[in-house]
Every structure is written in structure tokens, then in C-alpha cells.
Amino acid sequence: MSYEQAKQVAVEASLAAAQLCEQVRAQIVPEAMEKQDRSPVTIADFGSQAVICRALATAFPQDSVVGEEDATTLRQPEMADALAQVTQYVQAVAPGVTPEEVTSWIDHGNGEVRQRYWTLDPIDGTKGFLRGDQYAIALALVEAGEVKVGVLACPSLSVDLPQFPQAKGLLFVAVRGEGATVVPLKGDNPHSIQVVSPDDQANLRFVESVESGHSNQARQAAIAKQVGITNPSLRIDSQAKYGAVASGQAALYLRLPSPKTPEYQENIWDHAAGAIIVEEAGGRVTDMYGQPLDFSLGSKLINNQGVIVSNGSIHDTVLAALKEQVKS
């Protein structure tokens, strides 16, 4: 089955969302609103989800979209100014849209996991976005539990690639069975990417979250050292970490459960797009027990614990080190 249309729609929607997010950062000092789970959300999160869901609803009206945000907060009377701001930014993409249309598009992302669906994180790494640091727009198409298309727009990411030595802001794209590519957000010809080879000592390093509460950083450092990675970790917000592994800038991304929240279940939108990009670049993605990530069971990876992302060649060694650590 061809996924060319799905790829093109996903790429164009993600680029439009990235432009919106960067306009928000350039024109105003982004402020976070607090959701019911106490996590932050911004005008850019809402605008990004509206723009992408509008594109998906137009091109694929039968497809469900499972996104991170909903418009409940924006519909509160005291949030009228915030909704007006979101609408203004969306109008740059879709002139003449109304606040009611914007909230409807945002809520189009409240779909269910089905045989075929999209999963979306309109801003993965909101805290990084607020700091002026790394974040990603992450969009993936899933069929029968398997990710088929993945797009990551990373407006602040720059990696040391010979094809784009000065580029800041990268777009990663992958289609199952067709490989992975990267291209600057400002435009150029896409280039294929591959994970790092095991003998590339300069890039034999690991990436992890900036926020210590997201994972067990002490355990991750110990595992990395145990498998021969002695370089300091790169701490990057968002699924930009997947981009670093896929493009050969790091060999390993570890996301092990934090001691404070050992039963934490990962959200599907935090991993789907990144996972296919790494896999199509020659890497491997599993949970901490070596099981594939299961995207068929709902908005959470309820059958998985932890996430291990690698260049493939060190993956089994990492899993063995984790198993040995548990025994001891």
C-alpha cells in the first residue's frame, strides 16, 4: 500500500504547525496554562493541534486522530483572550476561520485508537518550548498497531550533518519500508539518514530527557557506562532525541521509569513518530524488556515499560545489562 499522500499531508501540516509555533515564540513571550494533570500547555500547543487536525480532517475524514490536547480549557469564559490569540495564529494558515472552528479542529484530536489512526503531539517538549530550547511537532500514522508514517519537525535542533552543516531546524520523515530522511525546515533536498556505526567513538553517546522527573537518570548513566558509553549524556527535550539517534549523533536513548513513578505508562504520541524514524534509519526501538512498543491498545503504551532506542548493534547488550541490573 502506498503512503505517499499520507506522507505529503503529514509533512505539509507539520511544517505549517512548526511555522506557527515559531511565530508564537518570536512575537510573544509564551505563557503556560495548566491542564488538569498539572502539565503545561500554551497557545502554540493549541494552534499547532488545530492546524494539523484541520489538514487531516480534510484529507482523511474517516481517520481518527489521537492527540494530546483538547479545547476544554479554551472554552472557559475566562480564556476568551487566549482563544482569540490561538485563532489569530491559525488564521495565518486558514484565513477567516472562527474561534468555534478552531476549537472544533482541536477536539478532532480526541479520537480513538482504531485499525487506522493518527497520533499527534502538537508540541512535544512544552517546557523546552517555553525555555526557548528543543521541542518537536510529532505526527504518526498507525495501522493495525504498526506505525506506517512518522514526521518530526524540530525547529530548534541542529545536528552535525555534512549535508546541512549550518542548518538549524530539521524535519525528519519516515515511511515503513522506505527509509528515513532529514531536510532543513527552511527547505532543501531530503537526505537519507542512518544510525551511528559501533566504531564511531565520537558519536557513541546517549541522549536523555532534560527533566529529571521523566526518567531514572542515575540508572540510565549506569547502563550506558556498562555498555561502553563513556561520553557524557546529551540532555534534549522532546522526540528530538529520536532525531539525534536516527541521524547518527548518538547511539542510545534511554527512558527508564523514574523511582518516583515506577508504574508510569508512556503516551503513544510521545514515541510513535520517533520510533519509526529510528527504525527506518537502521536502529531499534523496544521497551526495557525487549518487547516492541504496542500502539494498538489506546492512548497509553499499557503493555510496555520504559523505552530503549538504539543504533541496533548495542541493543541486546543494553537489554542484557538491564536484566542483570534487576537481578542484582
State how many domains the chain has.
Answer: 2
What pLDDT, on the 0 to 100 scale, is given for residue 219?
85
226 and 165 within one domain: no
Residue with the bigger pLDDT between 37 and 164: it is 164
**What CA–CA distance (Å, rounded) separates 317 from 303?**
22
Q: What is the pLDDT of residues 142-158, one digit of tens each?
A: 999 999 999 999 999 98
**What CA–CA distance (Å, rounded) separates 205 from 115?**
37
239 and 151 within one domain: no
Of 31, 52, 48, 51, which Cα lies nearest the Cα of 40? 31
126 and 92 within one domain: yes
Angular region, 139: left φ>0, alpha ψ -120 to 50, beta rest: beta
What pLDDT, on the 0 to 100 scale, is given for residue 74?
93
What's 29's domain CATH number? 3.30.540.10
Burial 212-228 (b: 16+ CB within 10 A, else e): eebbbbebbbebbeebe
206 and 149 within one domain: no
> Domain residues for 114?
4-192
**What CA–CA distance (Å, rounded) separates 140 from 149?**
5
The domain boundary, picked from 192, 217, 236, lies at 192
What's 245's domain CATH number? 3.40.190.80
175 and 64 within one domain: yes
Q: What cell numbers appear for 175 in the block?
A: 515511511
**What CA–CA distance (Å, rounded) separates 96 from 232?**
50
Transcribe 217-245 into DSSP letters: HHHHHHHHHHTT--SPPEE--TTHHHHHH
27 and 126 within one domain: yes
The domain boundary, picked from 129, 159, 192, lies at 192
pLDDT at 37 over 70: no
Element (H, E) at 47: helix 43-59
Q: How confident is residue 325, by pLDDT bands cut at 50, 70 and 90?
A: confident
What pLDDT, on the 0 to 100 scale, is given for residue 168?
86
86 and 11 within one domain: yes
252 and 182 within one domain: no
Residue with the bigger pLDDT between 19 and 165: it is 19
Q: In a 3-state reduction of DSSP, which class is residue 49?
A: helix
The pTM (predicted TM-score) of the whole model is: 0.94
Q: How confident is residue 303, by pLDDT bands cut at 50, 70 and 90?
A: very high
52 and 35 within one domain: yes
The domain boundary, picked from 170, 192, 214, lies at 192
Q: What share of the chain is helix, strand, coil (3-state, %, to 5)?
A: 35, 20, 45
Angular region, 168: left φ>0, alpha ψ -120 to 50, beta rest: beta
Q: What is the pLDDT of residues 192-242, one digit of tens each?
A: 999 999 888 878 899 988 876 666 788 888 898 888 898 888 889 899 999
Q: In a 3-state reduction of DSSP, which class is residue 27?
A: helix
Q: How confident is residue 21, by pLDDT bands cut at 50, 70 and 90?
A: very high
Q: In a 3-state reduction of DSSP, which class is residue 58?
A: helix
What pLDDT, on the 0 to 100 scale, is given for residue 260?
81
Q: How confident is residue 328, by pLDDT bands cut at 50, 70 and 90?
A: low
pLDDT at 321 over 70: yes
Q: What is the pLDDT of residues 242-300, one digit of tens each?
A: 999 999 999 999 998 887 888 889 999 999 999 999 999 999 999 999 999 999 999 99
What pLDDT, on the 0 to 100 scale, is given for residue 234?
86
Angular region, 33: left φ>0, alpha ψ -120 to 50, beta rest: beta
Look up residue 180 and give its amino acid.
A
Mean pLDDT, residues 94-104 taken together = 97
175 and 53 within one domain: yes
pLDDT at 327 over 70: no
**What CA–CA distance (Å, rounded) separates 13 from 10?**
5
Active site residues: 45, 126
What pLDDT, on the 0 to 100 scale, is given for residue 318?
96
Look up residue 6 and give its amino acid.
A
Of 113, 173, 120, 172, which Cα lies nearest the Cα of 143? 113
Q: What is the pLDDT of residues 154-203, one digit of tens each?
A: 999 987 777 777 778 999 999 999 999 999 998 888 999 999 998 888 78
Look up residue 263 and give its amino acid.
E
Q: In a 3-state reduction of DSSP, which class is residue 302?
A: coil
pLDDT at 35 over 80: no
What pLDDT, on the 0 to 100 scale, is given for residue 245?
97
166 and 213 within one domain: no
150 and 69 within one domain: yes
Q: What is the mean pLDDT of the chain?
A: 92
Residue with the bigger pLDDT between 308 and 263: it is 308
What pLDDT, on the 0 to 100 scale, is given for residue 178?
97
